[in-house]
Amino acid sequence: MIFKDLLLVSDLDDTLLNSDHFVSQENLDAINYFTSLGGLFTVATGRTDPSVRLLNLPLNTPAILYNGSVIYDYKSNSTLWHFPLDQSAKSLVYEILNLFSEVGIEIITLSSTYILAQNEQTAFHMNIEKLNPIMLSSESTDTIHEDWQKIIIAWDPSSLAKVKSFLDMKSQTEYFPFKFSYSYPIYIEIINNEANKGVALKVLSDYHNIPLSQCISIGDNDNDLELINNAGIGIAVANAKDIIKQNADYICSDNDNHILVDVINYLSCVYS
């Protein structure tokens, strides 16, 4: 089988999902074709496991979630690996909230999504991913009794850039055990600084005893950079940020034009 022992991993938003936030039938058919010929297919996304489950994708291997800080197996309904945030994340979110009073802040654990500060962008996020968050008062993070897995800072792009500058400054001037990156123009996601989609790809490839040279990844945004660089073949969608295109081995169609049809055709030529 032409795709045996190949691991294909795709980002979701603005990559596998089109602008209407759906996976086209053409993409679903391409996934099924790839896996029928021996390939392993999964996603690497900032989304949570309930959000990805709602998409009902034909994954045949565990998924990389929470921007690379979790690997989740839908077959066994279990978390295989995770890298939670440092305890100092709590003081960080209050510092951000005190400086930027209109910012939206989401706190994500393995079991729940909490909203510490709501705005238009957090409401949009909950609607798009069909999430039912737990609303917190500004003093109630102590009611979260499990590890924080990820923080999402949500705001309009120009305002969010100010938060990004603040995080840049903190990361350069003090102990800062966090990694932050844009996952969408209105979201900055904060995870453990030892986690990213590329690290998780290595964990998943080891799980299958497949070398990274036989891994193929697809992405569009800053949080996909390590995923693109760590794979044997890194692919950028045509609508990707320039930094992703510059690091990619191949640029496929944009997310509104059935990327996996293009990618599978390309891989058929590479591995024929």
Contact 21, 53 (CB under 8 A): no
The Cα–Cα gap between 128 and 98 comes to 28
Rounded to a whole number of angstroms, the distance between the first and last alpha carbons of the chain is 10
Coil vs helix vs strand at 93: helix
User: Which among 263, 270, 272, 271 has a CA at the least distance from the CA of 9?
Assistant: 263
Sign of the torsion formed by the C-alpha atoms of 44, 56, 109 and 98: positive
Instruction: Give residue 272's pLDDT.
Output: 85
Give yes or no for a contact between 55 and 35, defined as CB atoms under 8 angstroms apart: no
52 CB-near residues (< 8 Å, 6+ apart): 12, 43, 45, 63, 65, 72
Domains with residue ranges and CATH for the chain: 7-83+195-271 (3.40.50.1000), 87-192 (3.30.1240.10)
Q: Report CA 120 to chain centroid distance, whole Å.
A: 21
Q: Output the pLDDT for position 107.
A: 98
Query: Which pair of structure tokens corresponds to residue 67?
Result: 């921007």
pLDDT in tens, the chain (272 residues): 899 999 999 999 999 999 999 999 999 999 999 999 999 999 999 999 999 999 999 999 999 999 999 999 999 999 999 999 999 999 999 999 999 999 999 999 999 999 999 999 999 999 999 999 999 986 679 889 999 999 999 999 999 999 999 999 999 988 999 999 999 999 999 999 999 999 999 999 999 999 999 999 999 999 999 999 999 999 999 999 999 999 999 999 999 999 999 999 999 999 98
Lateral strand order in the sheet of 233-236? 40-43, 7-10, 215-219, 233-236, 250-251
